[in-house]
C-alpha cells in the first residue's frame, strides 16, 4: 500500500481585487486541507490572473517576473501547513511569457515546474511559449502534468509522460475536460487530478470519480461548504483488462487475503488490483500469478504500442 491524499482547492478569484487577496484565500484553504490530511494541494490555472477584471490591464501585464518573491506569502503558508503545493502562475522569464505550475515540497523546496505544452490561441498570439513534458519527482512518485487545453492533446502531452513512468497527472485548468478526462484515466491507467474552480475532479486509475465539486454548486456560491475536494489514492495498484486475468482473480484473493483488494469495473471490463500491505508490491503479485496490465494487454494487439508499454 502506498497511499497519498491529494486535494484540489477552488478559488473565487472574481471576488478579489489583487493577487494578494487571492493568495490569502488560498492560504486559508491550504491550512484546512492539510489539517484534514492532504499531502498535496493543487490550485487552479494561473492564480495570479484570477483577480483580472474585464477591461482591466492586458493579460501579459499580470505575469510575474520573480515568482518566488511575488508568491512568497502563499509558499510560506504551505510550509507552515506542512503540505506540498502545485502552484500555477503566468510568469515572464528572460522576456518570455510562460504558463506554468511549480511543484513545491512540504518543506518549501522547489521540485521543478511543468510548462503548458499547447498554449491556447489567445496565449499564442501574446507569445506564450510552449513547454516540454516530463514528470516531476514528488515523495517517491512521478508526477505528470498538463494545463487546461493540454488535456485535449493526449498523444502529445500524456503519452511521453506515461512512457517516462508518470504515476499520476495533476491539471490546473480553465476547462472542465469532461469525458476526455475519464477516458484518459481509463486508457493510461493512472489517477487524474483536475483543479478547475467551477468543478474540480479527482479520478482513480480506472476512471472512477473519487471526488468532485466547485463553484458550479449553488451552495458553495452562496458562501456555504468548502471548495476543497480531496481523495486518498493507493499508488501500489494497477488496472487489469478482464481477458487473460479474470480467471486468476479468485486465486489472487485466496492467496493474499486482506493484503490485496480487487475492484471490478463491469462497464469497462477492468479489474483494479491494489496492495493493502506495505511489504507487498503489486509487481510481486503480478509476477506470482502471471497477470498483465491493461496497457500491456492492448499493446500486444498493436505493435506500435508494444515498445511504449510500461513494464508493469
Residue 54: pLDDT band (50, 70, 90) is low
62 within 8 A of 13, measured Cβ to Cβ? no
Res 55 pLDDT > 70: no
Mean pLDDT of 288-307: 80
Res 3 pLDDT > 80: yes
Among the listed residues 201, 132, 118, 139, the one whose alpha carbon sits nearest the alpha carbon of residue 164: 132
Residue 52: pLDDT band (50, 70, 90) is confident
Res 270 pLDDT > 90: yes
Mean pLDDT of 73-93: 98
Among the listed residues 230, 226, 231, 232, the one whose alpha carbon sits nearest the alpha carbon of residue 29: 226
By the 10 Å C-beta count (0-12 exposed, 13-18 middle, 19+ buried), 196 is classed as buried
Three-state SS for 148? helix
Question: What DSSP line would sit under 11-58, residue for residue?
Answer: --GGG-SSHHHHHHHHHHHHHHHHHTT-SEEEPPS-GGGTTPPTTSS-
The reported pLDDT for the residue numbered 187 is: 93
Instruction: State pLDDT tens for residues 181-225.
Output: 999 999 999 999 999 999 999 999 999 999 999 999 999 888 899
The reported pLDDT for the residue numbered 153 is: 97
Res 30 pLDDT > 90: yes
Mean pLDDT of 64-82: 97
Mean pLDDT of 49-56: 77
Terminal CA-CA length for the chain: 16
The average confidence (pLDDT) of the chain is 93
Domain 3-234 superfamily per CATH: Carbon-nitrogen hydrolase (3.60.110.10)
Point out the least confidently predicted range of 137-151, 262-276, 287-301: 287-301
The reported pLDDT for the residue numbered 94 is: 92
Res 154 pLDDT > 70: yes
Residue 132: pLDDT band (50, 70, 90) is confident
The reported pLDDT for the residue numbered 221 is: 85
| Residue 116: all three cell numbers together | 503548458
The reported pLDDT for the residue numbered 311 is: 45
The reported pLDDT for the residue numbered 67 is: 96
The reported pLDDT for the residue numbered 106 is: 97
The helix or strand, by DSSP H or E, that contains position 74, with its residue range, turns out to be helix 72-81
Tell me the H-state helices in 234-307: 249-256, 282-289, 294-299, 303-306
99 within 8 A of 118, measured Cβ to Cβ? no
- The domains of the chain are located at 3-234, 237-306
- Measured over the CA atoms of residue 238, residue 188, residue 193 and residue 46, the dihedral's sign is positive
The CA-based angle 221-45-116, given to 5 degrees, is 160
Res 171 pLDDT > 50: yes
Stronger pLDDT, 251 or 14, i.e. the higher one:
251
Q: How far is CA 308 from CA 73, 132, 195, in A?
A: 42, 18, 28
CA pair distance 246, 227, nearest whole angstrom: 40
Mean pLDDT of 88-108: 97
The reported pLDDT for the residue numbered 312 is: 47
Res 32 pLDDT > 50: yes
Mean pLDDT of 121-125: 93
Residue 307: pLDDT band (50, 70, 90) is low
Res 56 pLDDT > 70: no
Res 118 pLDDT > 80: yes
Q: What proportion of the chain, given as a percentage, has pLDDT over 70?
A: 95
Amino acid at each position: 500500500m502506498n497511499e497519498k491524499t491529494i486535494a484540489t482547492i477552488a478559488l473565487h478569484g472574481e471576488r478579489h481585487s489583487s493577487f494578494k487577496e487571492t493568495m490569502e484565500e488560498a492560504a486559508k484553504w491550504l491550512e484546512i486541507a492539510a489539517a484534514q490530511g492532504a499531502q498535496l494541494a493543487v490550485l487552479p490555472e494561473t492564480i495570479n490572473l484570477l483577480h483580472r477584471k474585464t477591461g482591466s490591464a492586458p493579460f501579459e501585464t499580470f505575469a510575474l517576473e520573480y515568482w518566488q518573491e511575488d508568491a512568497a506569502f502563499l509558499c510560506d503558508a504551505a510550509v507552515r501547513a506542512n503540505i506540498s503545493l502545485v502552484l500555477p502562475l503566468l510568469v515572464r522569464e528572460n522576456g518570455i511569457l510562460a504558463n506554468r505550475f511549480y511543484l513545491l515540497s512540504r518543506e518549501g523546496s522547489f521540485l521543478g515546474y511543468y510548462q503548458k505544452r499547447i498554449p491556447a490561441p489567445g496565449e499564442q498570439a501574446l507569445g506564450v511559449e510552449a513547454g516540454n513534458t516530463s514528470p516531476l519527482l514528488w515523495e517517491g512518485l512521478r508526477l505528470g502534468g498538463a494545463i487546461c487545453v493540454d488535456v485535449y492533446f493526449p498523444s502529445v502531452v500524456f503519452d511521453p509522460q506515461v512512457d517516462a513512468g508518470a504515476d499520476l497527472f495533476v491539471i490546473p485548468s480553465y476547462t472542465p475536460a469532461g469525458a476526455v478526462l475519464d477516458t484518459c484515466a481509463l486508457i493510461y491507467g493512472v489517477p487524474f487530478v483536475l483543479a478547475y474552480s467551477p468543478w474540480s475532479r479527482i479520478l482513480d486509475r480506472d476512471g472512477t470519480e473519487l471526488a468532485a465539486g466547485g463553484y458550479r454548486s449553488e451552495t458553495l456560491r452562496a458562501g456555504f461548504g468548502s471548495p476543497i475536494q480531496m481523495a486518498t489514492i493507493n499508488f501500489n495498484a494497477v488496472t487489469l483488462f478482464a481477458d487473460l486475468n479474470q480467471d486468476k482473480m479468485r486465486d489472487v484473493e485466496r492467496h493474499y487475503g486482506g493484503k490485496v483488494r480487487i475492484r471490478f469495473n463491469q462497464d469497462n471490463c477492468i479489474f483494479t488490483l491494489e496492495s493493502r500491505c506495505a511489504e507487498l508490491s503489486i509487481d510481486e503479485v503480478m509476477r506470482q500469478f502471471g497477470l498483465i496490465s491493461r496497457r500491456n494487454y492492448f499493446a500486444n494487439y498493436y505493435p506500435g504500442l508494444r515498445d511504449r508499454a510500461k513494464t508493469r
